Amino acid sequence: MGSGVVTVFSFAYCLNEEGHYLQQVKLGFDDPDGFFSDWDDTVADYTPVHWTGVTCSESGSGFVVAVDLSNANVAGPFPTVLCRLIGLKFISMYNNSINGTLPDELSTCQSLVHLDLAQNYLTGKLPESRDGVGLIRGGW
């Protein structure tokens, strides 16, 4: 009996870690207008650098520094997974249908300096936040 070597190649596109977190954001929202249509985890460009509303650092680190979902017509609770984006400085979800209460996890967004949640359907109080975070309180 002869011996042989079998080589199996498997090609799969996978997202970087921050792309995975953003995919969780996408899955948590109703998106009737298809705002997230280019947040695709099956294409060769598997990092979120070209996704609508996402800005990555120019330093080459690849960290997501801004997520702008303003006027996207999305609905759902605030996605706490955004706080796992360690370089995230700016979040805008202005004029959507973000609903419910803001979770305490919001205060764990380490780099966040700007948060705009005006014109949504949020209830309750803002969680305690670090000094220096510009929380825009209008709209709920």
pLDDT higher than 70, residue 136 = no
Domains of the chain: 17-136 (3.80.10.10)
129 band by pLDDT with thresholds 50, 70 and 90: low
Q: Cα(8)–Cα(1) distance, rounded to whole angstroms?
A: 22
Neighbours of 37 (CB within 10 A): 11
Q: How far is CA 127 from CA 21, 66, 107, 123, in A?
A: 22, 21, 7, 12
- H runs (alpha helix) in 14-127: 17-27
Predicted confidence (pLDDT) per residue in 41-85, tens digit: 776 556 788 899 999 988 766 789 999 999 999 999 999 999 999
At 30, the pLDDT band (50, 70, 90 cuts) reads very high
pLDDT for the residue 139: 45
Average pLDDT of span 10-38: 83
pTM (two decimals): 0.81
C-alpha distances out from residue 11 to 2, 23, 53, Å? 29, 20, 28
CA distances to 5, 23, 34, 57, 90 from 73, in Å = 54, 17, 9, 26, 19
